[in-house]
Amino acid sequence: MIDKKEAYKILGLADNASRNDIERRYAIILKKYRMESAEGQDGSEAVDIDKITGAYSLLMGYVEPQPEVELKAPNPLLKKLGIDGKKAGNFFHYHKIHIIVGIIALIVLAATIRGCVTRVDPDFNIAFMGQLYFNETDVLKETIKKEIPEIKEPGFDGAFLSKDSTDGQQEYAMQMKAMVLFAAGDIDLFILDKESFDRFVQQGVFTNLDEIAPRLGIENEISKLYKMKLEDNTTEHIYGIDISNSEALKKSKIQGVKMIAAISVRSKWPEKAEKVIKLLLK
């Protein structure tokens, strides 16, 4: 695993860079990678996103550098198979993140394959992001299907992100999942906590809602509108709408201190997303 000095070097930052500097630099690199991918370029040649993410996660405290652990006694099974126990231990130590992420990916793939056999593909996708609890989505699914007939089968996913997490490996896995949800392009509507919204909005992943707010009848309700000025723009725009008091979310036992709805810039169904927000504002 890389150390912090090398992590700063990978991100092109000074050793005394602040957390805001790290967040800002990572957002710029991620945006460049996403733009190259969208233009059909091989972004992996210009940006080693795994290496960049590893450096970012280390500096932000999502993972901690650990000393090399040496095996005290040779494993009899490994010895019987003719495998050097120390080399095997070192291999796992330096590649455990990739192994864990790989296992998670296999589990997700297996669940996806099984799901394809047993359920209808979603025609509208919602992702929960941040410190939100969304274990029970069946009630919300049925509410959306009843109130918005053009949505036949809403799908739900998400990543639980918490700065207070004591499990660095799990937090890293959730950070990776969040990146996948933003990059996959099949999420139409994000529901985020305030911290996650503030973090991701600067990466240009949410749609400008200036024209939608009046249609929702909340253009004058300042407390419900989240206006932001992005780094490459001199004007504030609405990118999020507060839905914390949503009856539909309460009935579904979806909980969070603050819940903000934001439409993905890659949404295939922005009109449906607008109708879902209108439903959640009730």
pLDDT in tens, the chain (282 residues): 678 889 899 888 998 888 888 888 888 887 777 777 666 655 445 567 788 888 888 887 766 655 544 445 556 655 555 555 565 566 555 566 666 667 777 776 776 666 555 556 899 999 999 889 888 889 999 999 999 999 999 999 888 887 666 666 777 888 888 888 888 768 999 999 999 999 899 888 999 999 999 999 998 888 899 998 887 777 899 999 999 999 999 999 998 889 999 999 989 999 999 999 999 999
- 243 within domain boundaries: yes
- 79 within domain boundaries: no
Q: Are residues 36 and 126 in the same domain?
A: no
Q: Are residues 145 and 251 in the same domain?
A: yes
Q: Are residues 276 and 172 in the same domain?
A: yes
What was the pLDDT predicted at 89?
A: 61
Q: Are residues 24 and 157 in the same domain?
A: no
Give the pairing type, strands 154-160 and 189-192.
unpaired
Where residue 15 sits, what CATH number does that domain have?
A: 1.10.287
- 70 within domain boundaries: no
Q: Are residues 38 and 169 in the same domain?
A: no
Domain count, the chain: 2
DSSP state of 133: B
- How many other CB atoms are found less than 10 A from the CB of residue 56? 21
- 56 within domain boundaries: yes
Q: Are residues 41 and 158 in the same domain?
A: no
- 262 within domain boundaries: yes
CB 140 within 8 A of CB 124: no
Where residue 193 sits, what CATH number does that domain have?
A: 3.40.190.10
What was the pLDDT predicted at 44?
A: 46
Q: Distance between CA 119 and CA 153 in Å, rounded?
A: 10
Please give the residue range of the domain that contains residue 27: 4-60
- 130 within domain boundaries: yes
Q: Are residues 39 and 172 in the same domain?
A: no
Last residue in a domain, options 20, 42, 60: 60
Give the phi and the psi of residue 10 in degrees, each rounded to 5. Answer: -60, -40
